[in-house]
Structure formats: structure tokens, C-alpha cells
Amino acid sequence: MMSDFIISFKNSFLCTIKDGGFIFWCILYPIILISIMFFAFSGIAAEEISEIDIGYDEKSPAIAIIDEIEYINGKKMNLKEAEIELKDKKIISYLKEDGNLLVTERGMYQSIVKSIADISKKWMTLYKEGKDLNKTDFETSFIKEVNQDNRPFDIIYFSTIAMFSLYGYFGGISIIENMLPNRSIIGQRFSISPLKKSKSLIAAMLTIVFLNIISNILLLIYVVNILKLGLINDIPKTIFLIISGNIFGTGLGIFIGSSLNLSEGLKIGIGVAFTLLLAFVSGMMNPKIKYMLDSELPIINKINPISLITDNLYRVNMLGMNGEYLKDGISIIIAGFAFIILSAFFLRRQRYDSL
């Protein structure tokens, strides 16, 4: 009956909002952490492009381009000299005779020089093929340009918001702890109550998702109206991505709570470690970690829900790009429901000799 569902939802709602742990970890802690980040980053200026020192072979096809770029200081040298200067960090890259680039590190400046090297190699290929470069249109752009300020900390903020959207995990753990008769007094009372277990589980899950979404929205209001970070420009898509994270986090919490025979403290510890790890590889501690993994091991962040939410929050709010957010959000929601279905399997198998 619908009355059973309403009773279960009401009870779950009241228990959750009276829980001091929920008030701190889901409402106060996100605001505190974002505030610490804001004050820590406010005195750090965005990185400006300074002069770039490079070496090049005298027959490198990129020489003509390098001479036209004022912030690049090119120095003619052979390969052995370049290896020594790269090791001593006197230059950041070396352009070889064949147009290839020699570097010892990754970074923004190396990427700039690589772009120049790639263009010069294309020109050299066209020339060798006998094409008339005077008839080649180098002015037409096939890339949509989007103006954006140099804001290196946006990825960190978005990754942090994405991490908090998964905090429904802790509510999912609490749901199972309060439903299992061998885990709590509430679970024992629940096991002999006339309320349908499936309706109670759905009501409790919706309560956690609803309350955590509200806490996430409060965080966004704080970020936009108090800190004035200018991060959120597309509210509907941002809310959709946050909802997807909440469903995934709650489903994962229910799955871990029902499948592992551990104490509640250990299950919570697993959740803390897991969400921090996902946030770490998605760029919360240092965006360079994310860029490195996207380049070397892209599969990691393609299945990382925090990374997917982070990327799409950045795209829809900072770049106005909407291509992937719906697909990625639906994929995260499906994964959350898959965890819930698996949880039902574990819950049905549990039997108790005595309580």
C-alpha cells in the first residue's frame, strides 16, 4: 500500500535529518572543505606563458615558424648537445632534423612546442608530395574556438563537487545497517514489522538520494552566491549530473553494506578510501594526475564516475559543450541501479539461526 511507503519514507527522513553524522559530513564538511580550498587558492595566480627555451637542428623544418614566435628562444645545436642541455634543464625540448620532438618531461610548454613541430611536419610532407604550398589554405579553421579564462583550479573544484555527489554512499550503508536484524535493534524491529521490505528499501534509498541532493544544492548555492567562483553556468545539466552521482553513491553503499560482513565503521572506511581514490585520479588533488592518466591509461577515468562527472561539469559549465553529459550521466545511473539489484540478491540469501 502507498501508506506503507509514505510511512517508511517519513521514518527514514526523520532518522536521517536527526543524525548528527549526516548534518556534518553531508552539509557542513563540503562547505568547510570548499572554503579551505577557496582561501588556499585565492592567493595563487594563474600561470602565465613565459619565454620558452628550446634547441633545434639546423635542418629542422620548424625553424621558419620558431623565428616568428616572440616568446620562443631557439638555439641551434646537435643531438648530443641537446641531450646534455635537456638533462640540465636549460632547454625544455629539442626539434630534430626529421621534425620529431625530443623531450624529457610533460607539460604545457612542451605541448606548445609539439604543436609547432606537428604543423611543420605537415608542411614538410606536403612539400615532399609536390604540393604547391601557396595554394594551400592555412587560414581555414575546422575547430570551434571557445574563449575561456585561464583558471587552473576549476578542475579541482568540480572534482570535489563530484566527490560529494557520491556521499549518498554513507546513507546507503546506514540503510542496510538499520534493516538487518543482526546489525541493530532497529533492524530487529524492522524484521518483525508488517511493512513490506522492498517498499521500505526503496523509500529509504529515495530519502538518502533526496537529502544528499539537497545538501549538494546548498553547496552549489554557497559556491555561486557566497564564494562567487563563477563555476555554475548551466544549472539543469549540473543538477542532472549530481543526481546521477547520488544514485551511484547510494547504490554502491547499499551493495557494500549488504555484501560484506564487516562492521559499519569498516564499511564507512572503505567508502572514504574509495571516494578519495576516485577523486584523486580525477584531479581533485592535482589536475596533472588526471591529465597523465588520460594520456597513459585512459580506461581508468572512462569508468571512474567522479572523473566522468568532473569532465561533464567542466564541459557544460565552462565550455558550453553538451555532447557527452547525457550519455555519461545515464551510464552512471545504470551502474547505480545495477548495484541495487545485486544488493537484493545478497539480502535474499541471508538467513539467521537466532537473534
Whether 258 contacts 134, CB under 8 Å: no
pLDDT at 191: 63
Of the candidate ranges 3-12, 218-227, 239-248, 259-268, the one whose mean pLDDT is the lowest: 3-12
* Rounded CA separation 178/257 (Å): 10
Per-residue pLDDT of 256-313, as tens digits, reads 988 888 888 899 899 889 999 999 999 888 888 887 888 788 899 899 999 999 999 9
Residue 35 reports pLDDT greater than 70: yes
| 107 vs 222 pLDDT, higher one | 222
Instruction: State the pTM of this model.
Output: 0.73
Residue 147 reports pLDDT greater than 60: no
**Helical pair 197-221 and 168-179, crossing angle rounded to 10 deg:** 160
Per-residue pLDDT of 156-185, as tens digits, reads 999 999 999 999 999 889 888 887 766 667
Alpha helices in the chain (DSSP H): 2-17, 20-22, 29-41, 63-66, 79-87, 108-128, 154-165, 168-179, 185-191, 197-221, 235-259, 264-281, 287-296, 298-302, 305-314, 325-349
**Helical pair 264-281 and 168-179, crossing angle rounded to 10 deg:** 160
Of the candidate ranges 66-80, 110-124, 261-275, the one whose mean pLDDT is the lowest: 110-124
Q: Residue 12: pLDDT band by 50, 70, 90 thresholds?
A: confident
Q: Residue 127: pLDDT band by 50, 70, 90 thresholds?
A: low
Q: Please give the C-alpha separations between residue 194 and each of 5, 12, 84, 125, 318, in angstroms, as whole numbers.
A: 12, 16, 79, 78, 51
Q: Residue 339: pLDDT band by 50, 70, 90 thresholds?
A: very high
What are the grid coordinates assigned to 217, written together?
544544492
